[in-house]
Amino acid sequence: MELLMDLPHLHPDHGDPLLLTRALGGAREFGTVSELFAQLSDPTRIRIFWLLCHCEECVTNIAALLDMSSPAVSHHLRSLRETGLIVSRRVGREVFYCAAESETADLLHHVIEQVMSITCPEEGRRLSEFRSDQLSLIQQVHDYLVQHLDERSTIEDLSREFHMNPTTLKAVFKSVYGNSLAAHIKEHRMEKAAGLLRGTDLSILEVARQVGYDSQSKFSTAFREAYGLLPKEYRRKRKVPVEESTDREEACDD
């Protein structure tokens, strides 16, 4: 049962005290939020968190980037990991850290950059330049994937290759190309496959391999989802005769 609080001063048009009581909730809820923001009360911790929002790094490299000792960096990493803002993975004896793929981490990252652009315009401009560099990097990621459709690269592979945090990589890619990385590249795979089916006599398995599929059945399923036809059916209906293809090429040469 909710109790209506009698406020010492009742002012007109200041809202319903009961609604305010509900909105305030309990101290525990606000305490949880306070603990989260407490993580960002230390400027060094903010720098580490911001860095890990954009790349995955080991303790040694973080220490070098921030001109700190490894034990000091480890202390901040431990605190950030306890609140779920960052995650880690082990590769052999090395441990790598990056920002967590969560709404909370994404929001805090956004808040840091927005506040920085308001309170420190010069730093905000540097961040804008950094984001511009990110867009250029994402275009490089895109070009690399399109040029290597016969290969399969995971987000983790791309993150290490292009030195960008996996979460940031996925988010920036989607903002630039309007679709997830996997879905966008799948469209390119299917477009290339359709061209090979129309213009070559390669076997279905060879076409599948050229667009990154080792399994012919999985390729056929993906192709049918994209074009509504199995690869063999599509080739039968859309294949360009060799003579016609040659004529078109000669016409283009003329």
Whether residue 147 contacts residue 109, with contact meaning beta carbons closer than 8 Å, is answered with no
Q: What is the pTM of this model?
A: 0.53
Range of weakest confidence among 60-64, 87-91, 131-135, 231-235: 131-135
- Phi/psi for 97 (5° steps) reads -125, 145
Residue 220, pLDDT above cutoff 50:
yes
Within a domain: 162: yes
Within a domain: 108: no
List all residues 6 or more positions away from 42 whose beta carbon is below 8 Å from its beta carbon. Answer: 76
What is the reported pLDDT for 44?
Answer: 92
Residue 236: which CATH number?
1.10.10.60
Residue 175: which CATH number?
1.10.10
Residues 158 and 194 in one domain: no
User: What is the span of the domain harbouring residue 217?
Assistant: 184-242
Whether residue 39 contacts residue 45, with contact meaning beta carbons closer than 8 Å, is answered with yes
Residues 223 and 189 in one domain: yes
Whether residue 99 contacts residue 86, with contact meaning beta carbons closer than 8 Å, is answered with yes
Within a domain: 113: no
What is the reported pLDDT for 226?
Answer: 93
Within a domain: 134: yes
Q: State pLDDT tens for residues 27-39.
A: 677 777 888 788 7
Q: Which 8-state DSSP code applies to residue 55?
A: -
Confidence of residue 129 (pLDDT cuts 50, 70, 90): low
Domain final residue pick, 166, 182, 198: 182
Q: State pLDDT tens for residues 139-190.
A: 899 999 999 999 999 998 998 888 888 878 888 888 778 889 999 999 999 9
The strands making up 86-91's β-sheet, listed across from edge to edge, are 57-58, 94-99, 86-91
Within a domain: 166: yes
Residue of higher predicted confidence among 40 and 9? 40
Whether residue 238 contacts residue 198, with contact meaning beta carbons closer than 8 Å, is answered with yes
Angle at 150 between CA 181 and CA 176, to 5 degrees: 20
Residue 9, pLDDT above cutoff 80:
no
Residues 169 and 128 in one domain: yes
Residue of higher predicted confidence among 127 and 201? 201
Residue 3, pLDDT above cutoff 50:
no
List all residues 6 or more positions away from 169 whose beta carbon is below 8 Å from its beta carbon. Answer: 138, 141, 155, 158, 159, 162, 181
Confidence of residue 252 (pLDDT cuts 50, 70, 90): very low
Q: State pLDDT tens for residues 101-117.
A: 888 888 888 888 888 87
